[in-house]
Amino acid sequence: MSNPISAEILGQCGFDWMMLDMENSPNELEHVLHQLQALQGSPTMPVVRPPWNDMVMFKRLLDIGARTLIVPYIQNSEEARQAVAYTRYPPDGVRGYAGAPRASGYGRIKDYARRSADEICLLLQIETREGLAHLEEIASVDGVDGVFIGPGDLSADMGHLGNPRHPEVVAAVNEAFGKAPGILIGDEALAHHFIKEGGLFVAVGADQNLLRDSASALAARFKGH
């Protein structure tokens, strides 16, 4: 919902982590900054999904304090290595240096630049058959902390648009889970299934859907009174 109030409310609901999405939501950099500020001190870890594997976007997100990124649409090990390089300062990468960004406490954390790479979590999202074919090499790239499966786009690429429950899609994800124990799934039954299959980080809902469904149920309970 691109909103700091909804992020703040959900940050106190008991979830382990929350994705702030810039790929499929109208979230811009300033919106994400406000959401990170709203979640500061929350037990829920904010995870930002940039719109693309982009050096400039990574730099700006990391500077405002994002510490975990989920990068969409990674197809091969070269793209994985690029993503890693975008999160590292030279000589280990190409991240641009800023003297006193929010990530460094506006300059109060004096050794931020030297230790930042150790505190950044980089997750890569596999969403196509090509990505699945290169899954093992992607997961083995130094600096990649985890791999996600995106069943929505994967189902479309496999010819089953809008049907992540299709047996072929579920079977492909089950097979990939040895290397990629994370998934973004809006179907609660499938979320339980993939947790049982070994999922270590599973997205189980979306704020707009929670609001839509609970508000619709509330209205339905009072219709006719």
pLDDT attached to residue 29: 98
Q: CB burial class (10 A; 0-12, 13-18, 19+) of residue 203?
A: buried
pLDDT attached to residue 128: 97
Helix and strand numbers (H, E) in the chain are 11, 7
Q: How confident is the model at residue 187 (pLDDT cuts 50, 70, 90)?
A: confident
Cβ neighbours for 161, distance < 8 A, ≥ 6 positions apart: 155
Please determine, for residue 21, whether its predicted confidence score (pLDDT) is greater than 90: yes
pLDDT, the chain, mean: 95
pTM equals 0.94
Q: Where are the domains of the chain?
A: 150-225
